[in-house]
Structure 1
Amino acid sequence: MTEVSPVQHGIWINELAGAGSAYHMPLVIRLEAPVDEGALAKACAALVERHPLLGMAFAESDGVPRLVPAQEPPLLSREERTGAFDLARGPLVRFTLSGDSLRVVAHHAVFDGRSKEVLVADLLAAYRGEVLPPLPPSTPQEEAPADEARAFWAPRWRAPAEVVVPGGVLRSRRAGEGRVLKFPLEVPGVAGLTRFEVLMAALHAVLGSYGNAAVVTAIDLSTRTPGEEGHIGPFVNELPVFSEPTPGAPFAEFAGSLRAELREIYRHRRVPLARAVQGLKPHAALAPVSVSYRRGGGDERVDWLAFNGAVRGAFQLQLLDGPAGVAASLRYDAAELPDPEPIVADLRAWLEKVAADPSIPLPAASRTAVTPQPSPRVAESPGFSGSAGDISEMSPNSGSADDPLLAGITAIWEEVLQLSPVEPYDDIFDLGGHSLTITQIIARMRKRLNIEIELDDFFDNPTIAGVLGVIRQ
């Protein structure tokens, strides 16, 4: 068994909450007719042999997921398989042939955007009968030290607020059914900025023009090292970008400040936000609005932005910067955003204005500015009025000093945290705990004490007394 990475652990946690197809990453390859089905089946098998992560599953033991071989290998099929992947059974890739089109769907737990290019190149080479040279072994990434990331995010992080847009308010950070709108984008060149930076600044300027005084968008950042090029895997991390578009400020100046912030964020791209921000609850999306950008996609036989039928958050903009320009795929939650066309029109209009004059002033807000709410902190458990180590005034629901359930839960906390003593009102995040710690505690409580507690309830009540209170409600 192989330990999972922090990114894989985060995806696994969100899958426990029911992500549906939100983590499915499809692509469609058009093959020359007639298709040699036998050769294609062998090519799919060769691909999985070359990239064994695709043929894995997740086995959970005491709240810790590990990678194990899937119960059956991924095989080429003529029948479309729908529904969510079973991470516990695997495999985590599907190959479906329909006519002369091969649809490949991989799970994000073992796959990222750059992996699409690797998969297409290796699969087509194997289909042509080419012998692929062995891949150099991928050196496992050591978990990046989180101390600098904690110091970086401490003054920046705030819980994402609602986002006002034409026709709605975006609040969702969950995974759910989505719709898609595909369109091209003309991105002008601006001195000192990449096309991605111009796009991000334009999007933030547009959101600011709707009255959002403070803007946050989540972005996917690659964590690949040179030694991981050519490998398939989830070498990506989602982090937030905050800005405050000031009306009247020159666009180029605003974009330059956003570029500087992006470069600072990039230094901490290997540290998942949950390891750097204390008490961060798992969400399918860090913010209601998210952006994914990558270069590539030169092969016109491939639909690189095939839709998975779902969205993470309320507004998920996927961008592919290829030889023909930037192709955009906007996945959105129709319950919160019935019509995304006005936002797309505004984004295009802003890019046209920037092309004509990069120093165009940012507009005044067209609506009442939205002030982000402070990040909610967990309230103290009912009945508590003493010091952290004082249990004399604990409520009946929170247990008493001679409560066997209190003793059993405390023993599990001390075992997982490798820390003693842990007092009833010690916050698990103050003790260095995080999402993996919590899943371990939940699993051991289930196994030893026959007690089930939801992950959200634990995050909302991150003390032993708080957990006891939830159990005894």
Structure 2
Amino acid sequence: MTEVSPVQHGIWINELAGAGSAYHMPLVIRLDAPVDEGALAKACAAVVERHPLLGMAFAESDGVPRLVPAQRPPALSREEQPGPFDLARGPLVRFTLAGDTLRVVAHHAVFDGHSKQVLVTDLLAAYRGEVLPPLPPAGPREAPAGDARAFWEARWRVPGEVIVPGGLLRSRRAGEGRVLEFPLEVPELDGLTRFEVLMAALHAVLAAYGNATVCTAIDLSTRTPAEEGHIGPFVNELPLFSEPTPGVPFARFAQALRAELREIYRHRRVPLARAVRGLKPHAALAPVSVSYRRGDDDERVDWLAFNGAVRGALQLQLLDGRRGIAASLRYDAAELPDPEPVVADLRALLAKVAGDPSIPLAAPRPVVADGPATVPAGSAVAVDGDDPLLAGITAIWEEVLQLSPVEPHDDIFDLGGHSLTITQIIARMRKRLDIEIELDDFFDNPTIAGVLGVIRR
């Protein structure tokens, strides 16, 4: 058995909560006809042998997951394999051939955006008959927390709802999504990368809608040179906060945002859950998130194939290639029925910046946000001191948290609990008390009183 990384544990937690296909990472490869199916099957096997993480599964014991070999190895198939991955059985990659098109779907628990390029390169090399040598071991997957705790203590706040035209974005869960694909023209500005210009434009647009503090979650690669050729989840999601000031020249705001990003990069290998006490697990760190990578935009490969889902309310995936930036906007239609106005505003601002980088940031303008009314936080649940489950549940909490006493209305996150302690508590409640409680119910009711309320309702 192999211990899972914090990133893998977070993904596993959200899968238990019902992520559907949100962590599926598909790509579509168009091969030259006729396809040698036998050679392709061998190539798929060679890729899995070179990257054994693809052939793993998650085994859970007492609420703690471990990586183990899948019950069956991945293999090329002509039948589409619908539905979510079974993480407990594996494997965590699917190869499906239809005519001259190969569809590969890997699970984010063992895969990231850069892994797509690695897989395509290795797969096509093996298909040509080249021998893929074993890879040297990758380095440590995370850095010591060090001063990341102090860094995030001064910056972290729980991301709030985001005002956009026609919607109010709150979701940080995984669920069914829709997609809007479009090209993005991002100007080259002195001293700024295209990613930095794009992030500054996105933050400026969101501020113009009336969001005084803007937060977007960003996926940052944690790869080192030793891990360049490896497949795996070498990525960390971190928040980028800003408070755009109306009238400030765009270029100056973008430079300030660049400086903040550079500070964040220093801590990119430390999972936020290790640096922020009481961080609640969510499929998305904020309602709006961005994933950006440079890469090959070979027309034979659909690098941004849609998985039918979204994490959070709005997820912008970007591929910066030789022909420009391709954008895939995944969104929750229940919170944002029409993303076109947001896209139009972003593209319009980028066009203006291309003509004059010193244009002032716009003052907030009223927008119509038709999201549902905010649901108030639940009040404290009354506890019956004679409830026969109270003592048993309290004992398990104190045992897992290694803390006593734990009172009925103590919030587990305030006590230093996190997703791993919650899964351990759930597992022990199931085993000892024959109680089953869903992760979502636990996250929404993170006290002993709240858990009892869920059980008794």
Same fold (TM > 0.5): yes
Equivalent position SS for 1:326: strand
Are residues 1:408 and 2:392 paired?
A: yes
C-alpha separation in 2, matches of 1:472 and 1:179:
37
Corresponding residue of 2:372: none
Shift of 1:423: 5.2
Question: One-letter code of the match for 1:309?
Answer: G
Equivalent position SS for 1:367: coil
Corresponding residue of 2:16: 16
Shift of 1:322: 0.8
Corresponding residue of 1:26: 26
Provide Cα deviations, 1:357-376, integer angstroms capped at 9, x if missing partner: 11110111121699xxxxx9
C-alpha separation in 2, matches of 1:185 and 1:155:
34
Shift of 1:216: 1.2
Identity of aligned residues (%): 84
Corresponding residue of 1:222: 221
Equivalent position SS for 2:182: strand
**Cα gap change, 1:419/1:165 in structure 2, threshold over 3 Å: closer, same or farther?**
closer
Shift of 1:336: 2.3
8 Å CA contact 1:93, 1:107 repeated in 2: yes
Corresponding residue of 1:61: 61
8 Å CA contact 2:163, 2:209 repeated in 1: yes
Structure 1 unaligned segments of length 5 or more: list them. Answer: 371-375, 384-394
Corresponding residue of 1:281: 280
Corresponding residue of 1:80: 80
C-alpha separation in 1, matches of 2:274 and 2:444:
17
8 Å CA contact 2:278, 2:416 repeated in 1: no
Equivalent position SS for 1:452: coil
8 Å CA contact 1:223, 1:269 repeated in 2: yes
TM-score, normalisation: structure 2? 0.93
Shift of 1:138: 1.4
Corresponding residue of 2:115: 115
Provide Cα deviations, 1:142-165, integer angstroms capped at 9, x if missing partner: 5632x6333222332222222222
Are residues 1:208 and 2:218 paired?
A: no
Matches for 1:235-384 after TM superposition, within 5 Å: 235-367=234-366, 381-382=380-381
Matches for 1:193-204 after TM superposition, within 5 Å: 193-204=192-203
**Cα gap change, 1:318/1:142 in structure 2, threshold over 3 Å: closer, same or farther?**
closer
Shift of 1:208: 1.3
Structure 2 unaligned segments of length 5 or more: list them. Answer: 370-374
8 Å CA contact 1:206, 1:347 repeated in 2: yes
Corresponding residue of 1:139: 139
Equivalent position SS for 1:354: helix
8 Å CA contact 1:275, 1:434 repeated in 2: no
8 Å CA contact 1:47, 1:123 repeated in 2: yes
8 Å CA contact 2:50, 2:133 repeated in 1: no
**Cα gap change, 1:278/1:360 in structure 2, threshold over 3 Å: closer, same or farther?**
same
Shift of 1:442: 1.1
Are residues 1:428 and 2:391 paired?
A: no
> Root-mean-square deviation (CA), in Å?
2.4
**Cα gap change, 1:446/1:294 in structure 2, threshold over 3 Å: closer, same or farther?**
same
**Cα gap change, 1:144/1:314 in structure 2, threshold over 3 Å: closer, same or farther?**
same
C-alpha separation in 2, matches of 1:220 and 1:189:
22
Give the length in aligned residue pairs: 453
C-alpha separation in 2, matches of 1:216 and 1:5:
26
C-alpha separation in 2, matches of 1:406 and 1:112:
43
8 Å CA contact 1:281, 1:459 repeated in 2: yes
8 Å CA contact 1:381, 1:461 repeated in 2: no
8 Å CA contact 2:297, 2:303 repeated in 1: no
C-alpha separation in 2, matches of 1:32 and 1:183:
27
Deviates more, 1:81-90 or 1:161-170: 161-170
**Cα gap change, 1:472/1:278 in structure 2, threshold over 3 Å: closer, same or farther?**
farther
**Cα gap change, 1:308/1:462 in structure 2, threshold over 3 Å: closer, same or farther?**
closer
Shift of 1:425: 5.3
